[in-house]
Amino acid sequence: MNITLRIWRQHDADSPGRMIAYPVEGVSADMSFLEMLDVLNETLTLDGQEPVAFDHDCREGVCGMCSLAIDGVAHGPEALTTTCQLYMRHFSDGDVIDVEPWHAESFPVVRDLIVDRSALDRIIAAGGYISAPTGSAPDAAATLVPKAAADRAFDAATCIGCGACVAACPNGSAMLFTGAKATHLGALPQGQPERGARALAMVAAHDEEGFGGCTQIGECTAVCPAGIPLDMISRLNADVLSALRSPSP
């Protein structure tokens, strides 16, 4: 099939950006969206033009690097799907498809479709860890983990940190990401000692990075490729409130 891409081109964070149209011919329905961009880039390179910069790594839906807004929707039209796992069979011959970077104040554009998502790393650095004593490895059965807690922690840990939640949120909030990362540790016995301090530190880092507050709109969970539910945010808010009521000594 033949399609037209309208792609956001921007030299760097300080330059203005604009949409430029590119025809792409001979697109196979079995190509992923990124493979289709590879074809475009090969053509541009052979023509002596600058290829389109876009983020990717695993191309298997697990690393969270791919990050395109396709026709205005983070990761495109398919639910529970990363951009790298989106296939061209979901589009039709003659389609005109808009491709943009994540638009969020806390994610400045680096070039074309690549944004700087290091603000998410700084939220993790603020509290996304547990402290463990040094020495020999503890007995594997020394700390029993209830099945419900293990399941909850695992569900939270499926967040791949792509930032689609931020891109979709009208407030530019990263609370779904922060809630998932805090819950992933806070649901487990090993994460209890720092649970309150972790919630406070991660939310403070979230706010310092300029992300907006959550007003429970739910766009984040609608585009999340891992299906992280909105109640991860409620759980984080409950941890914050409880820590404020009973601060650690």
Question: Which residues would be at the binding site for ligand FES (CB under 6 A)?
Answer: 56-59, 61-66, 82-84, 160
Cβ 162 to ligand FES shortest distance, Å: 7
Question: Residue 113 or residue 240: which is nearer to ligand FES going by CB?
Answer: 113
Question: Residue 124 or residue 197: which is nearer to ligand FES going by CB?
Answer: 124
- Residue 151, SS3 per DSSP: helix
Kindly give, in sequence order, each residue whose CB lies less than 8 Å from that of residue 241, ignoring residues fewer than 6 positions away: none
CA distance 138 to 133: 10
Cβ 161 to ligand FES shortest distance, Å: 10
CB atoms within 10 A of CB 231: 12
Question: Residue 158 or residue 171: which is nearer to ligand FES going by CB?
Answer: 158
**Residue 106 near residue 117 (C-beta atoms within 8 A):** no
CA distance 184 to 107: 24
Residue 22: strand pairing partners: 5
Cβ 25 to ligand FES shortest distance, Å: 25
Question: Residue 149 or residue 157: which is nearer to ligand FES going by CB?
Answer: 157
- Residue 204, SS3 per DSSP: helix
CA distance 138 to 237: 32
Query: Which two three-digit tokens encode residue 73?
Result: 């929707």
Residue 86: exposed, middle, or buried by beta-carbon count in 10 A (0-12, 13-18, 19+)? buried
Cβ 81 to ligand FES shortest distance, Å: 10
Question: Residue 164 or residue 236: which is nearer to ligand FES going by CB?
Answer: 164
Number of helices and strands (H, E) in the chain?
8, 7
Cβ 33 to ligand FES shortest distance, Å: 10
Token pair 């922060």 in the structure block, residue: 178
Question: Residue 52 or residue 66: which is nearer to ligand FES going by CB?
Answer: 66
Cβ 43 to ligand FES shortest distance, Å: 22
Question: Residue 163 or residue 172: which is nearer to ligand FES going by CB?
Answer: 163
Cβ 93 to ligand FES shortest distance, Å: 25
